Copies of this chain bind each other. A is one copy, B any other.
Amino acid sequence: MDPVALAALFRAVRSATDALAAPLSPEDQMLQSMDAASPTKWHLGHTSWFFETFLLERPGEARRLAGADRIFNSYYQTLGEPLPRLGRGLLSRPSSDEITAYRRAVDADVLRLLAGDAPAKTLALIELGLNHEEQHQELILTDIKHALYANPLRPAYLHDRPARDQSDRQDSTSPPLAFREFGGGVSWVGHPGSGFGFDNESPRHQVLLHDFALADRLITAREFADFIADGGYRRPELWLSDGWQLVQAEGWRAPLYWELRDGELWHFTLFGMQPCALDEPVTHVSLYEADAYSRWAGARLPTEFEWERAASGQSLQPQVESGNFLEARRFHPQVAPAVASKQSAGDETKSDRPLQQLTGDVWEWTQSAYAPYPGYRPAPGALGEYNGKFMCNQFVLRGGSCVTPARHMRVSYRNFFPPAARWQFTGIRLAKDLIPSC
């Protein structure tokens, strides 16, 4: 990306982050409700420290805010002892104001760099920093949602839901579920090389796929409620062993944020407690719940490469633009569009529609453990800790969510979370093997 365009992007991404924090008071920005989540103010500081550390100073020498090195290092062991995660919620100092000043100081210095004759490596680092910041934009929203829910008063992040526009489908009905078939064979996966990509998307390489089918939309809250009504959370035979133990230990009986009030289903959203529209995609389920649901439904979760193969085959561009991403400011998945089908009367479960909700709405759990691609090598130095060291005990998710910046998504993008995680906007797309009946 050329320096001018990059400077514009830098300004846009940085202010988008500020805008996400704007509805939150300094007190709200202190909240940390669990080890895996961080306070908003920490996200604001950490993303600035990232630029300062990797771009502006020699690592370990951040100087624009006293102590930044000791409190905003997330997990870079090679840059000194990171603060224990739960300590992030105890940082009343520096204040929100001081962190804002820190952000502005970093902004100025980065933009000064971009105004000069910055080498390609610098430009690449800035682009990395912006993609890193976009990841934290998503986390700001998922973390604050979890934190506000921990308050028994269930306060809202935003009070006014955006005025409905014509693309809002919350009152409409989800189309019937059907499966679209894909032929197997050798397929290219991974980042194609042009444009930004994280190291975990590379090297681009070939994989061998077997014939498969993917559901043409996401599983809805109504369908998931059927699973619950059918004893889904009480039947061990549907669950992975680790998942069943967790269900017992945690007393899980429904997705995170669901509450039954007088027989009606409500859920917590960034707009506070709301009645749950049953046609919208189910979200805030763990891999364990997604996997158990798929077994109950006689299907399975897709592999990450099946998803990528399917996504490569259809134009995502319209979806990215019109899709339900962060910019739509719905902050919640929405009902799948009723797309005209050319489906033959003969088999109602075979779909000839393009796959709906493939990007945006919710991250789709895959059955693929997060692992390095053949030939993967992490970057040297501290940046090598960005992705590689987490390739263990996590699963890949694909497609982005309603709180992912649209620009951030791409077909080769690999998100990853432990199988027990529920506080992200995670959901379910089913897959099936295509095996000749015999």
Contact = CB atoms under 8 A, between A and B. Distances in A.
Interface of A: 25-31, 33, 66-67, 70-71, 75, 77-78, 83, 87, 89-96, 147-148, 150-153, 155, 186, 205-208, 210, 236-237, 239-244, 287-288, 300, 367-369, 371-372, 374-375, 384-385, 389-393, 419, 433, 435
Contacts of A94: 153
A272 to B, nearest CB: 11
A67 B239 CA distance: 27
Contacts of A83: 152
Given A93-B151, A151-B91, A240 B391 contact: yes
A181 B338 CA distance: 54
Nearest to A287: B392
A77 B25 contact: no
A97 to B, nearest CB: 9
Contacts of A205: 210
Nearest to A155: B93
B384 A237 contact: yes
Nearest to A67: B153
Contacts of A25: 26, 92, 95
B239 A90 contact: no
B237 A78 contact: yes
A153 B244 contact: no
26 contacts: A25-B92, A26-B26, A27-B27, A28-B92, A28-B93, A31-B90, A66-B153, A70-B152, A71-B152, A77-B244, A78-B236, A87-B150, A87-B151, A87-B152, A90-B147, A92-B148, A186-B208, A210-B374, A237-B385, A240-B391, A242-B392, A244-B389, A288-B392, A367-B371, A368-B371, A393-B393
A208 B287 CA distance: 27
A199 to B, nearest CB: 15
A91 B208 CA distance: 50
A385 B244 CA distance: 12
Nearest to A368: B371
A56 B195 CA distance: 64
B155 A210 contact: no
Contacts of A384: 237
7 A-B pairs with the lowest CB-CB distances in the bound complex, closest first? A369-B369, A77-B236, A208-B208, A27-B92, A28-B92, A93-B155, A241-B389
A392 B70 contact: no
Given A70-B152, A151-B92, A152-B70, A241 B390 contact: yes
B30 A27 contact: yes
Contact of A392 (B78, B241, B390): B241
A12 to B, nearest CB: 28
